[in-house]
Chain A
Amino acid sequence: MIIGRVIGNLVSVVKDPSYEGFKLMVVREINTDGSFAHRSFISADLIGVGVGETVMVTNGTSSRATPETYEKPIDSVIIAKIDRLIFRDHEVDLKDIDPSL
């Protein structure tokens, strides 16, 4: 799993019928040191998050393990909202991350 910041959402009129009911979000990856990775991707939202929130994302086959996504063309899902990131000797302040590239 990786963590990321939700930086936008995706609107699509013509889409695969199995995407019906899913919110698709644009997520930018965050490194464990609190900096942004230069990589963003689209992820299906399973829990209902908003733009600007820090989230945990599962990639690959595991994202089709839930009943909601089973046998659907999805390989990235948002599974949790991350409130705090605590290491042995310090805490990464998630609010401090600069959202600009």
Chain B
Amino acid sequence: MAVVDIRRRTGYLFLAVIVGHVILISTQVTTRRGVPMLEEAVFGVFSEVQRVANSVASGVRSSWQDYFALQQVRAENEQLKQQLADLRVRLQQERGLAEQSQSLQKLLELKTTSALTTTAANVIAGGASPEFRTITIDKGTRDGLHADMAVIAPAGVVGRVIQPSGRASKVQLLIDRSAAAGALIERTRAQGVVIGTGADELRMDYVSGSADVKAGDIVVTSGIDGIYPKGFVIGQIQSVRRGGGEYSAILIRPAVDFNSLEAVLIVTTPPPAGDATGTAGAGQDHE
């Protein structure tokens, strides 16, 4: 009966809900420390729901494919795709190592570089809200993952782990509005910061207006943010607009197709200490 009475007082109820939300928001905005408990708990519980939903969806899809496809040909195709993905990752690692050694030779220094260790994970869910570009993967702290680990795909950089739970992790895609990474243009070595736009393209900021940059140039990670390993492909420059300002306006087409991600690799080796210097904010939320 009491519930009925409250429901009749629509105005008060509306006000109470609004005030409740405002309090909830303000506590988070002022503290800004760690992950909120509610977020952690809801994510922990719902990641299991996402896992089940993904299993059902994958099961249905797999059955559908199995019914129509020739088993042997499909298995062989999967194997070849896997091999190709491995080779593309290795190619990127080699490219990074080659660039690194070239720079080191120029400086007449000798350093030993260690190969990256990665762990594979499946994408089990997309973003819950269209305004945030995130995905959920099926590996978490139990698999040795923690926040700020780089996430890559055979084609290039995907993003970083922002919230690991026991058996799943939330990954912020590089195209998210709050995402950023230290980057350089492969051909000219001009440095800048790549920032997500929320759409399927990236922006490169802080590149001098006088720097030699043109459409078609490949943009790779610089490693200076301490999150993304050096030399991994971010994308290709789509357009360069030189205004009257100090910096050029550069748009990048990402190398990774974020809409069809199914499996990713998480870099479990932290980038070499020498790379992680300067640029506060790169690779992290830039808000």
The answer to whether A and B interact is no
